[in-house]
Structure 1
Amino acid sequence: MGQGTKRRVGDRGQVTIPKELRDEFDISGGDEVEIREESGKIVIEKPISRAEMAAGYRARAAHLRQLTNEMDGVSREADEYLGDAPEWE
């Protein structure tokens, strides 16, 4: 659906989200969606659940731990290769 699909707006302002997009974004009848204006466009988006947000934070924390461990290793290698840093005045 990269190019989009035209839909007619009903008298009550209703628009049907195409089935392919509902399936792709796991949107079913009765689900809530967020509708907002963004840079002159209307954006319809499925809100992020607390569980999804928590999972995202956990993944980010794991990634940061991995980077910290990697940088600790690089720092140790640099110390071994270069020796202690001189005292700065």
Structure 2
Amino acid sequence: MGTFSWTHLLIIALLFVLLFGAKRLPDAARGLGRSLRIFKSEVGQMQSESAAEAAHSDNPAVQQPLLAPAPHAQALIVEPQPSRRSI
């Protein structure tokens, strides 16, 4: 019940053609393909960098945090002061 049959896929394809038009679909598919290629290359680059960092670390059992908090990141809590009005 949870799988798509060929008729479901055909209906979805026809809806895309009706909504976006036959001229825009190749451009949209091309843009999606480029985006996926860029995403895959970035993920691969991140994985290779993390593997290189793990190989160069002195103690691989202790993992370093990816982002260190900034020293000024703590918010100051300011309590409201009562307003003084003179009549």
Same topology, TM > 0.5 = no
Instruction: Answer with 1 or 2: which has the greater Rg.
Output: 2
Which of the two has greater helix per residue? Answer: 2
TM-score, length-scaled by structure 1 = 0.40
Which of the two has greater strand per residue? Answer: 1
TM-score, length-scaled by structure 2 = 0.41
